Amino acid sequence: MTPSSLNAPKSFAETTSWLIGRVAYYVRLPAEEIAVDVPLADYGLDSVYAFSLSADMEDEFGVTADPTLLWDLETVTALAEYLVNGGGQE
């Protein structure tokens, strides 16, 4: 990540792609095997990786991302929509 990319607005497609890459990394699967509409828990994303992924989202998008968010917004699509729409920030 370059400093210029930090917190730069991303499209839904870019955000989805980034999330797929991070989830694939944590669950040790090829990105092609991560479906955007499958609950992340189905891939074995546990609480340790949820903390890591939420920290990654905070760093990349400049939003507050509590690890429980990954259980509230279970899929890549739901997370991408949340991030594209400002991550719930006022």
Q: How many other CB atoms are there within 10 angstroms of residue 2's CB atom?
A: 6
Token representation of residue 2: 């370059």
Phi, psi at residue 62, to the nearest 5°?
65, 35
Q: Checking phi first, is residue 44 left (phi over 0); if not, alpha (psi -120 to 50) or beta?
A: left
Domain boundaries, the chain: 11-84
Q: Which CATH class name applies to 11-84?
A: mainly alpha
Residue position matching structure tokens 């340790």: 48
Instruction: Per residue of the chain (90 residues), give pLDDT as tens.
Output: 444 455 556 899 999 999 999 999 999 999 999 999 999 999 998 889 999 999 999 999 988 888 888 889 999 999 999 999 887 664
pTM of the model: 0.85
